[in-house]
């Protein structure tokens, strides 16, 4: 049944909250299990919609999936795995599914998939994936809502990515591990979850070097073995809770946050005036006297993460002056701003990629809609500090990326509950 969040705003957050495993990292590690017939063990899995959906797709293909504990799973993609059994409906429900293309073509050489789904933040074609995999020897035909992939043999070569695409980088890395010869990837994405995947592939026996920041060298053709790998903490979730604490908190410790994953984020928070301390256990957010306007642009890592830009907007509504937010990647990323304006935010959308945020402006609770994972989280953050009651519909979008968000926020003193519609 559809569900919604009901938030009574204005409650002070205090205490500790723990960051779960990275949704984006988990997707790539799960997909990499298809590269070997041996058992793989993935620990610190976040129990979110996109990850559980991906595991279901693998199960229906014949992969053995067994949870050994709450967050640790054993996966074995033995010789009975059949890509003809891909569940097209589930494949089309999440963008994470695109990560299966690289390992499937490397191992099975021929298969068919539906269009991957995901957030409604703009056109997200898989053109880059098709282009770079084509240079390894993959042919892809698009027919309606399906893609047909085929390869006689994968051969390594030098490939320059046309954009800093994280999932295209990950697909290319996985396919190159089983390709013949050396593959050189230039202009590769280097987000923390890409490093998490490289660490796993290296332990599986892949020969991967990183001679420069955005360049990888892979010597392929070697059979890969099973592995045990841990999912890194979700740095987007870390940032989400830091922002919530900055807006509505007295003193909040975000446990398991990895500071070096968010260097640009910390720089911007300091500039805005958010008080925080980086400690061994995580990041402690302290009350801030006042907040200052700033200019924010989403950039490839190590720049400011695009997924944290929507979370920053509620914060900037409480900053003095005019702030600029700019996301050059997705033309519909700013759709959530219409929902914040219903709450009283003074925001001017300049074009599909840029908006001015004026503050400080008080927010009030209203009924609003969550259109994607990060937009939904942004509205939750706004609701926590707004006056009165906020109702957020379509919370299944939030569940795709945040595990039982409302329960964990209640542990900090938030008054938020999940209600069936």
Q: What is the mean pLDDT of residues 326-332?
A: 80
Number of domain units in the chain: 2
What is the pLDDT at residue 332? 72
pLDDT-derived band at 29, boundaries 50, 70, 90: very high
Tokens of 398: 């939030």
Domain boundary among 182, 199, 230: 230
Q: Is the pLDDT assigned to residue 119 strictly greater than 50?
A: no
The Cα angle at residue 34 between residues 33 and 39, in degrees rounded to 5? 50
Check residue 121 and give its pLDDT.
Answer: 42
In this structure, the answer to whether residues 403 and 359 fall within a common structural domain is: yes
164 is written with which tokens?
A: 């800093």
Contacts (Cβ under 8 Å, ≥6 apart) of 341: 347
Q: Are residues 342 and 196 in the same domain?
A: no
Q: Answer yes or no: do 172 and 28 share one domain.
A: yes
Rg, C-alpha atoms of the chain: 21
Residues 26, 42 contacting (CB under 8 angstroms):
yes
Query: C-alpha dihedral over 76, 81, 57, 200, to 10 degrees?
Result: 40
The string of DSSP codes covering 92-109 is TT-GGGGGGHHHHHHHHS
* Residues 305 and 265 sit within 8 Å (Cβ to Cβ): yes
CB-based contact 284:277 (threshold 8 Å): yes
282-322, pLDDT tens digit by residue?
999 999 989 999 999 999 999 999 999 999 999 999 999 99
For the entire predicted model, the pTM comes to 0.94
pLDDT for 125 equals 67
In this prediction, residue 94 has a pLDDT band, given cuts at 50, 70 and 90, of confident
Same domain, 159 and 242: no
What pLDDT sits at residue 390? Answer: 98
Are 181 and 113 in a shared domain?
Answer: yes
Question: Most distant CA pair in the chain: distance in Å?
Answer: 63
Residues 272 and 193 in one domain: no
Which band of pLDDT confidence, cut at 50, 70 and 90, is reported for residue 123? very low
Q: Answer with the one of 230, 255, 274 that is the final residue of a domain.
A: 230
Q: Assess whether 208 and 253 both reside in one domain.
A: no
Specify whether 221 is located in the same domain as 245. Answer: no
Nearest to 50 by CA among 24, 29, 32: 24
CA 164 to chain centre: 15
77 closest CA partner among 250, 256, 225, 189: 225
Contact 134, 168 (CB under 8 A): no
Contact call for residues 387 and 367 (beta carbons, < 8 A): no
pLDDT the model gives residue 159? 97
Domain interval for residue 388: 3-20+233-420
- The predicted pLDDT at position 353 comes to 92
Percent of the chain at pLDDT exceeding 70: 97
Query: Could you tell me which of 379, 368, 375 has the C-alpha nearest to residue 400?
Result: 375
Among the candidates 200, 230, 260, a domain finishes at 230
**pLDDT tens per residue, range 357-392:** 999 999 999 999 998 899 999 999 999 999 999 999
pLDDT digits (tens, 9 = 90+) for 153-174: 999 999 999 999 999 999 999 9
Residues 238 and 224 reside in one and the same domain: no
- In 3D space, the residue among 38, 180, 119, 150 whose CA is nearest the CA of residue 306 turns out to be 119
Signed CA dihedral, 263, 267, 269, 274: sign only = positive
Residues 271 and 143 in one domain: no
Q: Which of 111-120, 182-191, 213-222, 383-392 has the lowest mean pLDDT?
A: 111-120
The verdict on 185 and 273 lying in the same domain is no
Q: What is the pLDDT of residue 120?
A: 47
Q: Are 402 and 255 found together in one domain?
A: yes
Structural contact between residues 239 and 308, judged by C-beta atoms closer than 8 angstroms: yes
In the predicted structure, residue 124 carries a pLDDT above the cut 90? no
Tokens standing for residue 65: 């999936």
User: Average per-residue pLDDT in the chain?
Assistant: 94
Task: For residue 146, give the CATH number of its domain.
Answer: 3.65.10.10
């Amino acid at each position: 049944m559809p569900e919604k969040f009901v938030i009574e705003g204005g409650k002070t957050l205090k205490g500790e909250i723990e960051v779960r495993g990275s949704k984006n990292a988990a997707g790539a590690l799960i997909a990499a299990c298809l590269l070997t017939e041996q058992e793989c063990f993935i620990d610190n899995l976040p129990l979110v919609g996109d990850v559980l959906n991906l595991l279901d797709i693998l199960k229906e293909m014949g992969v053995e999936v067994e949870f050994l504990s709450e967050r640790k799973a054993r996966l074995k993609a033995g010789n009975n795995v059949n890509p003809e059994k891909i569940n097209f409906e589930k494949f089309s429900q999440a963008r994470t599914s695109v990560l299966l293309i690289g390992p499937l073509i490397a191992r099975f050489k021929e298969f068919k998939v539906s269009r991957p789904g995901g957030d409604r933040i703009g056109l997200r074609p898989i053109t880059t994936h098709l282009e770079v995999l084509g240079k390894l020897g993959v042919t892809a035909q698009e027919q309606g809502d399906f893609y047909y992939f085929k390869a006689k043999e994968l051969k390594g070569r030098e490939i320059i990515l046309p954009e800093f695409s994280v999932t295209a980088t990950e697909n290319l890395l996985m396919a190159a591990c089983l390709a013949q010869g050396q593959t050189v990837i230039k202009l590769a994405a280097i987000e923390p979850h890409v490093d998490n995947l490289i660490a796993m592939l290296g332990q599986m026996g892949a020969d991967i070097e990183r001679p420069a920041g955005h360049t990888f060298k892979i010597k392929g053709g070697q059979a890969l073995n099973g592995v045990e790998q841990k999912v890194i903490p979700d740095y987007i979730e870390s940032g989400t809770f830091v922002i919530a604490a900055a807006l509505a908190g007295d003193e909040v410790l975000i446990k398991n946050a990895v500071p070096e994953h968010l260097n640009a984020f910390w720089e911007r928070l300091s500039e805005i005036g958010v008080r925080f301390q980086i400690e061994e256990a995580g990041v402690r957010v302290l009350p801030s006297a006042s907040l200052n306007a700033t200019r924010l642009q989403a950039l490839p890592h190590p720049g400011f993460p695009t997924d944290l830009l929507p979370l920053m907007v509620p914060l900037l509504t409480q900053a003095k002056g005019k702030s600029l937010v700019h996301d050059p990647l997705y033309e519909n990323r700013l759709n959530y701003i219409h929902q914040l304006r219903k709450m009283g935010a003074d925001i001017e959308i300049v074009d599909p990629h840029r908006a001015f945020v004026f503050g400080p402006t008080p927010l009030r609770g209203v009924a609003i809609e969550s259109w994607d994972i990060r937009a939904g989280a942004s509205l939750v953050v706004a609701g926590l500090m707004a006056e009165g009651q906020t109702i957020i519909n379509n919370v299944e979008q939030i569940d795709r990326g945040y595990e039982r968000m409302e329960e964990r926020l209640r542990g900090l003193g938030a008054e938020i509950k999940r209600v069936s519609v």
